[in-house]
Structure 1
Amino acid sequence: MNFRLLSRVLGIICLLIGGSMSFSLPFAFPVLANRTHLPAAEAMERDGIRGLVLSMAISMLIGAVLLVSGRGNRGKPLFRKEAMAVVGLSWVMATVLGALPYYLSGTEIAADQPITFIEAMFESQSGFSTTGATVLTDLENPTAVPHCILFWRSWTHFLGGLGIVVLFVAILGQGSAGKAMVRAEMPGPSKEGSMPRMQHTALVFAGIYCGLNAILTVIYMAEGMTLFDGLCHAFGTMATGGFSTYNRSLGGFDSPLIEYTTIVFMILAGTNFTLLYLALVGGPRRLIEDVEFQTFVGIIAGLSGCILFFGMRAGDVGFESLGQGFRNGLFQVVSVMTTTGYGTADFDRWNNFARGSLLVLMFIGGCAGSTGGGMKVIRHVLFYKILLREIELSYRPRVVRLVRIGGTTADDPAMLRGIMVYFCLILGIFIASWMLLVTFEPSSTWGYNGDVSVAAEDNTLDEKLLDCASAVAATLNNIGPGLGVVGATQNYAGFSQGAKFLFVWLMLLGRVEVFSVLVLIFPTFWRRT
């Protein structure tokens, strides 16, 4: 491990993160933030500016120290181990540095309740990992959350959706090391048809991503949003993050037009960006014929129809009419499937089929090579085909059956083994985290402080089991909202500090897909040989 070279690269990334904080400063002024001139709000905005400037200074200082520590390594090759270390450590570093503006500005999670550093890390990681979970309870109160900090919150979505390392490679290249870093950060198995030069790949990805953000911002403004709201919600949509500037999320606009626009762009954000590029230069056929995209759209259509049917049958809130039921069901399926996490209805009040379906969707996610989180559609397709082959081999042991995707062979043993290992890892992390939360999270989170027998009668224990499971699933798969105490109209503020710290790591594991984080805890990984 070349620690000096690692220090130099991390120093540059640190400078990029610190410099990017400057984009939030203009939104402290009323003309851009579109807010009222309340004296208390003006004072809070000044605190926001101070917090951002101090955070920039700290980030720049740390970056400069790391650069000096890594001097003399300019132009040296970055090998696979260093590339994986850069990915894992850069995301840890982004979590800590991204927390500084919240903490140093005195942002409050509730009235007269300043944010703790762990809670600031939670909000920071939720933004960078595009999870969209939050501990802030009153986003519309300018005396609790400065608008410049609210913009920083959404800006972390933009940076995280693009990818810290993808941004770094797009700007500075890094050759073969860039290839290793992009592969370590980009979620899901690599797709056939990716451009051979990683800097070109990163630039194409960044170009499509930024272009869609700009287009969506203009559309949102045409549909009635301000520049501030349009930018923040475009970042949340295209990054599949889900941070909003309103307590009711997109439901606060009460606009079917905005909701349908968001549905279209969430689907685009959950689609493999390489396929979007190929469709752009070679026609939509390349996209339509892709097996993963077909499965992705098929799940959305099929499950939306089922939720509409059972919702109308059960008389759920928001399903009073066919049009409203269709829009609410489709929006929430797309929002959860793409791991965006926006809400327009309280789906936690829907029937058990709908709630259970949304919980299952959390473990599927978007397409590989998209900004969506989750386990990725292509992994589930391959997992299904592997299971079919193994079942057949149980009664026809001599048959030779290749795994095929869309007419091409996908029978690389290393890739298929990786699929199985990844499923086992996610299952293991989910179970271990769920048991930790169920065991150590106090029942006071559910408003209970008495006898266990009373809690059993009030179903508090059953609620705790389900709510903890959905909270772990929602953070590990970068969804954001879950069920119960973390439902569509709730947040994560009620959990203990220890639980919030656990969620920070789960969001990180979900975003960089486990391996680039897990290797950091192995001593052999850090050896020079």
Structure 2
Amino acid sequence: MTRTIDKRATLSYVGSVLKYLSAAMLVPLLVAVIYAEDAWVFAASMAIGVAVGGGLERLDPDPELGPREGLAVVSLAWLAAAIIGAVPYLLAGYGTSSALAHPVNALFESTSGFTTTGATALAEISFDRHSHAVLMWRQLTQWLGGMGIIVLMIAILPELAVNGAQLMRSEAPGPDLQKLTPRIAETARALWAIYAALTLAFVVLLYALHLVGLAPDMDLYNAIAHGFSTLPTGGFSPEGDSIAAFSPVVQWAFVPFMVVAGVNFALFWYVIRDDPTEMFGNTEFRVYLGLVTGFSAVLAVGLFWGGAPTTAIGGATRGVAGNALRQGVFQVASLMNSTGFATANFAEWDTQTRFFLLLVMFVGGSAGSTGGGIKVIRWLILFKTLRRELYTTANPDVVRPVRLGGEVVDEEVIRGILTFTLLYFLIFAIAAMFIELDTTRIGQPLSGTEALAASLATIGNIGPGLGPLGPFGSYEFLPDTTKLLMIVLMWIGRLEIVPVLALLVAGVDE
């Protein structure tokens, strides 16, 4: 029997998400009023979002959500959010020479924000070219997308909470969803409360450094803006030089919060509930911290002994122990969990160091974190599965389950991880070939390594790549066809591929 997706119910739920998400534009609207800037841009954009969302919501006053509709709602809500999020950019750029006046660039910037990728289509980021309100909206989109748009809607909308577990499972980063409380809406609120509390703590820390004179450029605006993009592992900054624009003290302050952002947020719930053993007994958490520490040490030693040249931004690393350590720790903490901030132009570093950074990018953060990439837990299970297969090949009569943290991993979970990883590498490789060919077509070719890095930077929601797409570069010069491909890569990468591709087979026989 064939059952198709209930389009009216699906669009009705997507409309609800859009309507309430548009209310977030009140934040940049307030910023525009404070700085006497383009308040009309956000007033008009919010009106458009509410009108479109409300119109879709009326398609089905009492929608019912099945498994197929759940996949469709999650996939389409993220795409619709990116489209509505692009409206302020288009209105602000209308009639100017700004890159945001181009619809593809506006959609690219919005998608990059909501998916917490941090890749930018802006060649110049400054208050001379863009208003405080527009740049704050750019930051806020990352914060909204970090913990998840659907998770936020479940936390505030009772009607979505009825099917919340199914929706969160489709959106959550990682192979499994931890239900922290009996009711899924309470779980969503708990996750968002932890996320908001950590964001506030970081904003307070940054502004406190400013008040005591250790961070003269980290005013309240910058503190809030960087709080909005650090905990979601986003990477956008209103400063063109990213975190290199700030003092070493500020750069060190970012490190622990970037590392925290790559931890499964459910573990913080157990710490709050007086059960810290759950965190420190967690296998993925221990491996994640071990990898961050190990990678940081390797990179710092490499930089100290001459692995990278002196750069205009970031200062010398060769032979300067303190700077090498800071650069090594910061870049690993930023790139491993897909934050994408930078304190040095690593695109200019030597070949071996750049390949090492590509390896770091492939790892990803923890499941249940805001980090992108493949995720530490998937790598753990993949290696354990590989070891199991090698062992059972030599001992065919032995039945040996895969265990993680003393518990048997379900074979269905293993199949899901194998499927995801295969799709990830397949799409990554095909996209890299397309990017190299398409940039060659317009006479601005990327090398093979740069194309691979660009594909990884977008499907892994990392942001910066190599060459002209490095941490202080821009994606603006790329052809529209490549940017549209990257928009799709960012979208499916944030939703971890399967929910989006599953829609293609949603109508098969049951």
Structure 2 residue 507 is matched with structure 1 residue 509: no
Q: Which residue number corresponds to residue 54 of structure 1?
A: 44
**Equivalent residues in 2 for 1:105-504, closer than 5 Å:** 105-106=92-93, 113=99, 115-142=101-128, 144-173=129-158, 174-190=160-176, 194-224=180-210, 225-253=218-246, 255-314=247-306, 316=308, 317=310, 318-320=316-318, 321-410=320-409, 412-442=410-440, 446=444, 464-504=447-487
Query: Contact 1:7–1:69 at 8 Å: present in 2 too?
Result: yes
Using the TM superposition, give the Cα deviation of residue 506 of structure 1 relative to its aligned residue in structure 2, in angstroms.
Answer: 0.3
Number of matched residues? 491
Query: Contact 1:314–1:351 at 8 Å: present in 2 too?
Result: no
Amino acid at match of 2:137: W
Q: Percent identity?
A: 35
Using the TM superposition, give the Cα deviation of residue 444 of structure 1 relative to its aligned residue in structure 2, in angstroms.
Answer: 5.0
Partner secondary structure for residue 8 of structure 1: helix
1:190-224, CA deviations, whole angstroms, 9 ceiling, x for partnerless residues? 25664342111101100000111111111111111
Query: Contact 1:338–1:372 at 8 Å: present in 2 too?
Result: yes
Using the TM superposition, give the Cα deviation of residue 55 of structure 1 relative to its aligned residue in structure 2, in angstroms.
Answer: 1.4
1:396-444, CA deviations, whole angstroms, 9 ceiling, x for partnerless residues? 111121111111111x111110111111100110111111112222365
Query: Contact 1:445–1:494 at 8 Å: present in 2 too?
Result: no
How far apart, CA to CA, are the structure 2 residues paired with 1:210 and 1:16? 18
Query: Contact 2:295–2:360 at 8 Å: present in 1 too?
Result: no
Match of 2:17 among 13, 17, 20: 13
Query: Contact 2:99–2:122 at 8 Å: present in 1 too?
Result: no
How far apart, CA to CA, are the structure 2 residues paired with 1:263 and 1:489? 19
Using the TM superposition, give the Cα deviation of residue 81 of structure 1 relative to its aligned residue in structure 2, in angstroms.
Answer: 1.3
How far apart, CA to CA, are the structure 1 residues paired with 2:443 and 2:25? 34
| Runs of at least 5 residues in structure 1 that lack an aligned partner in the other structure | 34-41, 447-459
Using the TM superposition, give the Cα deviation of residue 113 of structure 1 relative to its aligned residue in structure 2, in angstroms.
Answer: 5.0
Amino acid at match of 2:72: A
Partner secondary structure for residue 154 of structure 2: helix
How far apart, CA to CA, are the structure 2 residues paired with 1:199 and 1:8? 20
Q: What TM-score results when the alignment is normalised by the length of structure 2?
A: 0.92
Partner secondary structure for residue 135 of structure 1: coil
Using the TM superposition, give the Cα deviation of residue 79 of structure 1 relative to its aligned residue in structure 2, in angstroms.
Answer: 1.9
Query: Contact 1:213–1:238 at 8 Å: present in 2 too?
Result: yes
Q: Which residue number corresponds to residue 520 of structure 1?
A: 503
The structure-2 alpha-carbon separation of the partners of 1:379 and 1:445, relative to structure 1 and needing over 3 Å to count, comes to farther
Using the TM superposition, give the Cα deviation of residue 51 of structure 1 relative to its aligned residue in structure 2, in angstroms.
Answer: 2.2
Partner secondary structure for residue 263 of structure 2: coil
Q: What TM-score results when the alignment is normalised by the length of structure 1?
A: 0.89
Using the TM superposition, give the Cα deviation of residue 315 of structure 1 relative to its aligned residue in structure 2, in angstroms.
Answer: 5.5
Partner secondary structure for residue 305 of structure 2: helix
The structure-2 alpha-carbon separation of the partners of 1:195 and 1:358, relative to structure 1 and needing over 3 Å to count, comes to farther
1:468-501, CA deviations, whole angstroms, 9 ceiling, x for partnerless residues? 1100000000000011111122111111111111
How far apart, CA to CA, are the structure 2 residues paired with 1:510 and 1:294? 25
Amino acid at match of 1:162: M
1:329-358, CA deviations, whole angstroms, 9 ceiling, x for partnerless residues? 000001001110001111122233321121
How far apart, CA to CA, are the structure 2 residues paired with 1:57 and 1:280? 39
Query: Contact 1:87–1:185 at 8 Å: present in 2 too?
Result: yes
- Larger CA deviation: 368-377 vs 174-183: 174-183
1:163-188, CA deviations, whole angstroms, 9 ceiling, x for partnerless residues? 11001101124345110000100110
Query: Contact 2:266–2:368 at 8 Å: present in 1 too?
Result: yes
Query: Contact 2:89–2:101 at 8 Å: present in 1 too?
Result: yes
Using the TM superposition, give the Cα deviation of residue 309 of structure 1 relative to its aligned residue in structure 2, in angstroms.
Answer: 1.6
How far apart, CA to CA, are the structure 1 residues paired with 2:272 and 2:289? 19
Using the TM superposition, give the Cα deviation of residue 379 of structure 1 relative to its aligned residue in structure 2, in angstroms.
Answer: 0.3
Query: Contact 1:166–1:202 at 8 Å: present in 2 too?
Result: yes
